[in-house]
Structure 1
Amino acid sequence: MSNFNLLLFGVYPYIALAICLIGSWARFDWSQYTWRAGSSQMLDGKGMRMASNLFHVGIIFVLAGHFVGLLTPHALYHHVISTEHKQLLAMVSGGVFGVLCLIGLIMLIKRRLNNPRIRATSSTSDIMILFVLLAQLILGLLTIVASTQHLDGSVMVMLGDWAQSVVTLQPLKAAQAIAPVGIIYKLHVFLGVTLFVLFPFTRLVHIVSAPIWYLGRRYQIVRQKG
């Protein structure tokens, strides 16, 4: 195992998580009015509902599948399903919801870039994060294709060991677990971890927002120019 592998998959996840937590706290504490989804539906609602629903339904199921699939101990799910069948289930469900998410995301990107009103009100981070999500989604779908070459679930076990070692604060074990997997999986994992770094600085923060927070923040003062 190389030091580079240890840095990327053993140390970097904790750096990313620290940036995510500290950055989110700082943004919420110092700049609450930027903590929002920044919806553009009021500017133009045409096609928004279908695109948004496809993207959000897809991403919610994909994230839930990753959470359960990676963090469920192998000894626990073996009481319900075999490793081979678990991988097949992950490939089918991930493929279906991943494609739905991809369709919705492409529609959202096209809308944001081609609609003059929405483009004019979009920040650089708004556009950037959409393309980062697109790259991550494509990588995720490519891992499904790569998984057809090994249907025994061995790579899925190694990825599960990596994730569980990270959350149990075992960076060396995490790096050792992921070392043998293919480059496409490593790119997917690396970009997924990088999303935690980008989280506090983009509209992704709305993922952990709840309407109740609006009750506790100060009124926004609006003054008419002139």
Structure 2
Amino acid sequence: MNNFFFGIYPYIALSIMIVGSIARYDRDPFTWKSSSSQLLRRKQLMVGSILFHVGVLFIFFGHFFGLLVPHQVYEAIGIHAEAKQLLAAIAGGIAGIVAIIGALMLAHRRLTEPRIRDTSSFWDITILLMLVAQLALGLISVPYSIATAEHGSVINFMNWAQGVFTFQSGNAAHIADEPLIYKLHIVLGLTIFLVFPFTRLVHILSGFAAPVRYLLTRTGYQIVRSRRQAPRHPAE
């Protein structure tokens, strides 16, 4: 099971995320949106959305650079494994608290406002609850991560994450002996990647996909004429 979840499942999840997102953007571009409901409980939406997005963006880039930048780079600037794990746990914990407060506000709004709940799809509710659970798992792991910082477990997770993207065989062995709470956090995170193309999360990629499609396909272009150059109406 360890080999499946941490050696095979990452490739299943990432493949479905990439292929599924491309297919959805190509076949159903009009579903590529976040389906705003800002006219209802606007203040709760704005506060919750800001807290959630700020916290999640900090966590995402923290995970991205923390796991995928080689440890030698951190060593070269004087950040050793113990200090890096403490920094990740404390900074990530603060960002996690901000994000989960925002996520709970958004979940409360979506589940308790009848008009929003009735127009929410299965995935609208499911992905929001999955994100709340993922943030909760991350926060639960923070005290343990701080208490065991001297063991340098962060190195094992860095080796595992970098091994996934460099296609190393036997990569799952790096985290075979790590605590269950970390493993649950990873598996749920991979599952979020797996269901990504079927949810409103695809709008995250809009900032990247739209310019590419505009440059590579003719359908992205619009013909614009100045008022002076516009053709006259036959009646004129």
Normalization by structure 2: what TM-score? 0.86
CA RMSD of aligned residues (A): 1.9
Structure 2 Cα separation of the partners of residues 52 and 171 of structure 1: 40
Identity of matched residues, % = 48
Match in the other structure for 2:227 = none
Check if 1:62 corresponds to 2:59: yes
Structure 1 Cα separation of the partners of residues 40 and 119 of structure 2: 9
Match in the other structure for 2:85 = 87
Counterpart amino acid of residue 70 in structure 1: L
> Any idea what SS the aligned residue of 1:210 has?
helix
Q: 1:137 aligns with which of 118, 135, 138?
A: 135
Change (3 A) 1:212 1:82: closer
By how many angstroms is 1:62 displaced?
Answer: 0.5
Match in the other structure for 2:18 = 21
Counterpart amino acid of residue 102 in structure 1: I
> Any idea what SS the aligned residue of 1:185 has?
helix
For structure 1, the residue ranges without an aligned partner over 5 or more in a row are 219-226
Structure 2 Cα separation of the partners of residues 146 and 54 of structure 1: 25
By how many angstroms is 1:94 displaced?
Answer: 0.4
Verify the 8 A CA contact 2:82 2:149 in the aligned structure 1.
yes
| Number of equivalenced pairs | 215
Check if 1:53 corresponds to 2:58: no
Verify the 8 A CA contact 1:87 1:153 in the aligned structure 2.
no
By how many angstroms is 1:212 displaced?
Answer: 7.9
Structure 2 Cα separation of the partners of residues 212 and 130 of structure 1: 23
Verify the 8 A CA contact 1:20 1:196 in the aligned structure 2.
yes
Counterpart amino acid of residue 9 in structure 1: F
> Any idea what SS the aligned residue of 2:39 has?
coil
Listed one character per residue, the Cα deviations across residues 154-199 of structure 1 (whole Å, up to 9, x for unaligned) are: 2111111100100111141x20101111111011011111111110
- Could you list the structure 1 runs, at least 4 aligned residues long, displaced by more than 4 angstroms after superposition: 214-218
By how many angstroms is 1:217 displaced?
Answer: 6.0
Verify the 8 A CA contact 1:50 1:104 in the aligned structure 2.
yes
Structure 2 Cα separation of the partners of residues 154 and 126 of structure 1: 38
Structure 2 Cα separation of the partners of residues 217 and 188 of structure 1: 39
Q: Which has the larger radius of gyration?
A: 2
Structure 1 Cα separation of the partners of residues 183 and 209 of structure 2: 38
Counterpart amino acid of residue 87 in structure 2: L
By how many angstroms is 1:68 displaced?
Answer: 0.9
Counterpart amino acid of residue 198 in structure 1: V
